[in-house]
Amino acid sequence: MTLRIKQAGALSLIQDLGRFGYQDVGVTVGGPMDNHAFYWANRLLDNPPNASQIEITMGPFAAVFEKSTTFSLCGAEVVAKLNTRIISNWHSCVAESGDVLSLSFPKKGLRTYLAIAGGFDVPKMLGSTSTVVRDQFGGMTQQGDKLRDGDTLPYQPNVSLFCRGALKQFIPDYAETIRIGVLPTYQFDQFDEKAINTFLNEIYTVTPLIDRMGYRLEGATIDFPDQNFISEGIAPGSIQIPANGQPIVLMRDRQSIGGYPKIGCVCNRDLNLLAQATPGTKIQFFLQDLFEAEAELQQEQHYFYRV
Amino acid sequence: MQVKLVNENSLIIYFAESVSIETADFINYVYHRLNEDLGDVIENIIPSYTSILLSCHSRKIGLQAFLRLVNSALNNLHSSQIDDFKPEQIELPVYYGEEVALDHEDISQHTGIPFSEIIKLHTGEYYRVFAIGFAPGFAFLGNVPTQIAMPRKKSPRTNVPKGSVAIADRQTAVYPNQSPGGWQIIGRTPINLLDITTKNLSKFSMGDQVKFKAIDKQTFLAMGGVL
């Protein structure tokens, strides 16, 4: 009753929504880089929102279902096959015992979420299954290990559910140019007008230096007068401006505290979108109202947590 | 004190513009009070040198309501209660032998002080836990005497051994696990700093006072230290 990984690809990790409540002792939250796709993958199976999934970054990926079940795929645009049959992304699908799932390298986007009915049955560490490689927390042996070829992930065999897909309007477009909403918080007010104008009017490019901790961007230099900054807590989406003036957006595996000034925070919705951006993607920042963004988050939570 | 919103479910409280023991005491007090008063709606709390970042469970409470709760908790602080949260004093044994003090030559050269004297200075005071971060259980302790302050290494080590005791500028710290790191290494503790089966998880909590005690090689090994 396991999923046997045939090809783990570049980086495949067990994730639930994250390890909360321990940042005061330096424990990383982790969790899905793209919460939106993660929520949908569980929802398509009527799973609890926090059920454990596999986050497949880039791939290619292949695995064998050793017992019949229902699974779902959400996220990057990949060619997904069950044996030889092409199956839809943002959809759930029935697998029979022995079926082989294979995912190509993504055509658009970066990360695919593979959920299974009932969730993968992996042990929790500090209340979460999320894998944080840097902390050596979570994963199959709870040492922050990424998935390897031959790993077997237990799941409960499940009566087939009806297959269904996400509504079109909820499926994001992982375009070559994306607009990213920024909440004008943290040290936003301490940047001068020229710096703010540069940040909001210039186009920034995603560099190859991207990982689960942070996305380094490049573009016009943003100046901040005072680089002697006292370390403070870092919220997800914080946009750090180090001395070289090139922004770094902090993602799910960010450290808990940091000593760079921050020009604001990427809003929750667009942090999920940014997590699917590949090197070369163009970014146009715009100011996002905090309370509109909060209303959207509340709506999302309400939608995915309704019974 | 100044409270500022950060994102859809977070806010940050600023207490001062510069680092001091008084601010650290006050932050330690507020950190405990917020945990007690608002524990059920707090998702994460990150105290640091001059601030506390708080996020709420957005399914339980909206941002405006959370802000009101935090403000009212802050209005109910009583400086007389600070003493109720007296920091714990922790003594940590450290072996300062040359085979584990990987940077003993560099630091002696940089400071012009013989390593035996550096050990005396390092073990001579109580250090305050000003913040915890970088890695699970990694506590930023301060301040070391100015005579033994030394900047980080130009190029960080890829593998700092577990338990390494190190200095960077006027801060000192212990690496709870093997990890990359750029601090100057002067010794190693046999004590395990991170135990996920314990309630506190980490040996150090915000506000604790830590004193290092020099031990010899035999004691280090007897206590489970690994060379």
| Contacts B49 to A, Cβ<8 Å | 230-232
pLDDT score of A42: 97
Within-domain flag for B60: yes
Within-domain flag for B227: no
Check if B143 contacts A (Cβ < 8 Å): no
Per-residue buried b or exposed e for B117-136, using 16+ beta carbons within 10 Å of the residue's own CB: ebbeebbeeebbbbbbbbbb
Same domain, B107 and B67: no
Same domain, B132 and B168: yes
Residue numbers of B between 100 and 129 with CB closer than 8 Å to A: none
CB contact under 8 Å between A236 and B7, yes or no, is yes
- The CATH number linked to B75 is 3.30.1360.40
Given pLDDT bands bounded at 50, 70 and 90, which one contains residue B86?
confident
Same domain, B108 and B216: yes
pLDDT score of A79: 97
Is A209 a residue whose pLDDT tops 60?
A: yes
User: Using CA atoms, how far apart are residues B224 and B212, in angstroms rounded to an integer?
Assistant: 17
Same domain, B169 and B206: yes
State which residues form the domain around B30. Answer: 2-85
Nearest to B213 by CA among B90, B87, B86: B90
Identify the closest residue of chain B to A288 by CA–CA distance.
B7
pLDDT tens digits, residue range B16-63? Answer: 999 999 999 999 999 999 999 999 999 999 999 999 999 999 999 999
Within-domain flag for B132: yes
User: Using CA atoms, how far apart are residues B63 and A265, in angstroms rounded to an integer?
Assistant: 15
pLDDT score of A158: 76
Check if B44 contacts A (Cβ < 8 Å): yes
Check if B180 contacts A (Cβ < 8 Å): no
Check if B5 contacts A (Cβ < 8 Å): yes
pLDDT tens digits, residue range B114-138? Answer: 999 999 999 999 999 999 998 999 9
Q: How far is CA A240 from the centre of its chain?
A: 19
Q: 3-class secondary structure for A50-107?
A: CCCEEEEECCCEEEEECCCEEEEEEEEECCEEECCEEECCCEEEEECCCCEEEECCCC
| Contacts B5 to A, Cβ<8 Å | 185, 290
Same domain, B105 and B42: no
User: Using CA atoms, how far apart are residues B169 and A218, in angstroms rounded to an integer?
Assistant: 31
Same domain, B174 and B198: yes
pLDDT score of A259: 85
Check if A22 contacts B (Cβ < 8 Å): yes
Q: Which of A232, A301, A305 sits opposite B12 (nearest CB)?
A: A232
Mean pLDDT along residues A147-175: 90
pLDDT score of B197: 83
Within-domain flag for B134: yes
Nearest to A272 by CA among A171, A167, A165, A127: A171
pTM of the shown model: 0.94
Nearest-neighbour CA in chain A from B25: distance (Å): 16
Residue numbers of A between 131 and 160 with CB closer than 8 Å to B: 134-137
Check if A268 contacts B (Cβ < 8 Å): yes
Question: Which of B62, B85, B108 is the last residue before a domain boundary?
Answer: B85
Instruction: Please report how many Cα atoms fall inside a 13 Å half-sphere around the Cα of residue A84, on the Cβ side.
Output: 0
Check if B67 contacts A (Cβ < 8 Å): no
User: Using CA atoms, how far apart are residues B152 and A263, in angstroms rounded to an integer?
Assistant: 27
| Contacts A129 to B, Cβ<8 Å | none
Mutation for B interface: A17, A20, A27, A36, most B CBs within 10 A: A27
| Contacts B202 to A, Cβ<8 Å | 25-26
pLDDT tens digits, residue range A18-29? Answer: 999 999 999 999
User: Using CA atoms, how far apart are residues B207 and B101, in angstroms rounded to an integer?
Assistant: 27
pLDDT tens digits, residue range A1-18? Answer: 899 999 999 999 999 999
CB contact under 8 Å between A233 and B200, yes or no, is no
Same domain, B111 and B59: no
Given pLDDT bands bounded at 50, 70 and 90, which one contains residue A295?
very high
Within-domain flag for B155: yes
Tokens of B33: 């009070």
Q: Report the number of secondary-structure helices (H) and strands (E) in chain B.
A: 5, 13
Given pLDDT bands bounded at 50, 70 and 90, which one contains residue A231?
very high
Is A243 a residue whose pLDDT tops 90?
A: no
- The CATH number linked to B126 is 2.40.100.10
Within-domain flag for B124: yes
pLDDT score of A219: 98
| Contacts B9 to A, Cβ<8 Å | 294, 297
Same domain, B35 and B121: no
pLDDT score of B199: 78
Same domain, B188 and B205: yes
Check if B51 contacts A (Cβ < 8 Å): yes
Within-domain flag for B100: yes
Same domain, B50 and B98: no
Same domain, B47 and B102: no
Looking at this predicted complex, what is its ipTM?
Answer: 0.95
Mean pLDDT along residues B71-76: 94
Domains identified in chain A and CATH numbers:
2-166 (no CATH), 177-305 (2.40.100.10)
Within-domain flag for B28: yes
What total number of domains does chain B contain?
A: 2
Mean pLDDT along residues B153-176: 93
Q: Chain-wide mean pLDDT for chain B? A: 94
Same domain, B100 and B199: yes
Given pLDDT bands bounded at 50, 70 and 90, which one contains residue A160?
low
CB contact under 8 Å between A232 and B48, yes or no, is yes
Check if B2 contacts A (Cβ < 8 Å): no
Residue numbers of A between 95 and 114 with CB closer than 8 Å to B: none
Is A307 a residue whose pLDDT tops 60?
A: no
Given pLDDT bands bounded at 50, 70 and 90, which one contains residue A159?
low
Question: Which of B66, B85, B104 is the last residue before a domain boundary?
Answer: B85
Instruction: Give Dmax over CA atoms of chain B in angstroms.
Output: 58
Contact, A231 vs A215, CB < 8 A?
no
pLDDT score of A113: 98
Q: How many CB pairs under 8 A join A and B?
A: 128
Question: Which of B45, B66, B85 is the last residue before a domain boundary?
Answer: B85
